[in-house]
Amino acid sequence: MKEYQDRKLTVAPSPHIGSPVGTRAFMLDVLIALVPALAMGIFFFGPRALALTAVSVLGCEVFEGLYRLALKKPGSGGDLSAAVTGVLLAFACPVSMPYWIILIGDFFAIVVVKQLFGGLGKNFLNPALAGRVFLSLCYLPEMTLWIRPGTKFWLGLAQTGADGVSTATPMADLHNGVLPWMGTSGVRLHDMFYGNIGGCIGEVSALALLFGGAYLVLRGVIHLRIPAAYLGTVAVLAYATAPLTAASQWVLVQLLGGGLMLGALFMATDYVTTPCTPWGEVLFGIGCGILTVFLRVFGGVEGVSYAILLMNVCAPLLEKFTRPRRYGAPKGRRKKEEKGGGEK
């Protein structure tokens, strides 16, 4: 045991210098970047938004701890990745959600999607998104009940959807092919930007999410490639599929509506479930954009979560296709090398 500590000379393979920046530091940055969105969520939906997020974080950390304990693995609650999953899952749920439902979502995200496949770094789907999709499959009425934003309509901590005043979201109008300020929700464009609309806790305020995203980019936690490719593709396709009269406004509604900002900035940039090659990231973003618009325009559903999950599954394939050329290797030989590698 620890023989090497007594030796005067150690011989070890590189790398020799470690960095203090680990999973925990990155996850802490992501949590900090999510604070503005949470603040806006609390501002529009009241203290229940905070309570729901706290329950979700606690649930994720407890499930992770219990699973690691049950399987006698070293605990991994300290790296905060479960906390990020908890926050993102709560952000992707309406504020009126009963607490027990979000705990089921936490269980599915942490135990089934993440830990059963080996824990952080080995899950093939984004846990928070998979949890959200599972909840919308199993508890659809609760997942699609949108409470009106504003102090007057705040829910008490123990109240659920039946006690609140519900409203239509801009996405409902979008699916009907009308601009929100002409449709049933009556929402204006600046409301959509600030977040004064019905929707999930963390997705409503594009402004706060953009702040958080900018923080992550400046801190070097995420690259701009995926969000830029994702949002750019959605913008182009939204322009192409818009009704003839108001194409540019239609593009803005598509960009600001639904979970697109939250998905593009925080969920599609998950390290584990996205490609790690630069061109792979770009293709990943483009694929997400195409699927999102396709599902929104032709499927009549908010497609962000499904789009990102589908592209998560494609991530290994994209990595394989976009493997960078080895430095100094001749250009034409790449395909042969890959074939040789495959046979081994």
Cβ pair 266, 212 in contact under 8 A: yes
Residue 132: CB minimum distance to another protein, A: 12
By CB under 8 A, tell whether 138 contacts another protein: yes
By CB under 8 A, tell whether 235 contacts another protein: no
Alpha-helical regions (H) of the chain: 23-45, 47-70, 81-91, 99-107, 127-138, 140-143, 170-176, 189-194, 206-218, 225-241, 247-256, 260-262, 278-294, 304-321, 334-343
By CB under 8 A, tell whether 250 contacts another protein: no
Closest to another protein by CB, 35 or 111: 111
By CB under 8 A, tell whether 124 contacts another protein: no
Residue 67: C-alpha distances to residues 135, 179, 341 (Å): 21, 47, 37
Single out the residue of 63, 91, 139, 284 in contact with another protein (rule: CB under 8 A).
139
By CB under 8 A, tell whether 134 contacts another protein: yes
Residue 129: CB minimum distance to another protein, A: 15
Residue 319 and residue 26: Cα distance in Å, rounded? 23
CB under 8 A: which stretch of 32-40, 138-146, 233-241, 280-288 binds another protein? 138-146
Single out the residue of 21, 54, 116, 247 in contact with another protein (rule: CB under 8 A).
116
Closest to another protein by CB, 84 or 102: 102
By CB under 8 A, tell whether 239 contacts another protein: no
Distance of CA 72 to the CA centre of its chain: 30
Q: Which residue has the tokens 């940039």?
A: 269
- What torsion, rounded to 10 degrees, do the Cα atoms 103, 209, 166, 47 define? 60
By CB under 8 A, tell whether 247 contacts another protein: no
Distance of CA 158 to the CA centre of its chain: 27
Closest to another protein by CB, 2 or 335: 2
Q: Which of 293, 291, 271, 294 lies closest to 281, judged by CA?
A: 271
Residue 186 and residue 178: Cα distance in Å, rounded? 11
Residue 133: CB minimum distance to another protein, A: 9
Residue 87: CB minimum distance to another protein, A: 23
Q: Which 42-101 positions form the footprint of another protein (CB under 8 A)? A: 100
Single out the residue of 32, 35, 103, 104 in contact with another protein (rule: CB under 8 A).
104
Q: How many CB atoms lie within 10 A of CB 15?
A: 7
Residue 108: CB minimum distance to another protein, A: 9
Residue 220: CB minimum distance to another protein, A: 38
Bridge partners of residue 200, in order along the sequence: 94
Single out the residue of 70, 140, 276, 329 in contact with another protein (rule: CB under 8 A).
140
Structure token pair of residue 25 = 């530091």
Q: Which residue has the tokens 């969105």?
A: 37
The site map against another protein for 7-26 (x = CB under 8 A) is --------------------
Contacts of 253 (CB under 8 A, 6+ apart): 170, 174, 179, 180, 189, 192
Size of the site for another protein (CB under 8 A): 9
Residue 221: CB minimum distance to another protein, A: 33
Single out the residue of 112, 236, 272, 290 in contact with another protein (rule: CB under 8 A).
112
CB under 8 A: which stretch of 38-46, 134-142, 183-191, 252-260 binds another protein? 134-142
Residue 46: CB minimum distance to another protein, A: 25
Residue 291 and residue 301: Cα distance in Å, rounded? 11
Positions touching another protein (CB under 8 A) are: 100, 104, 112, 116, 134, 137-140
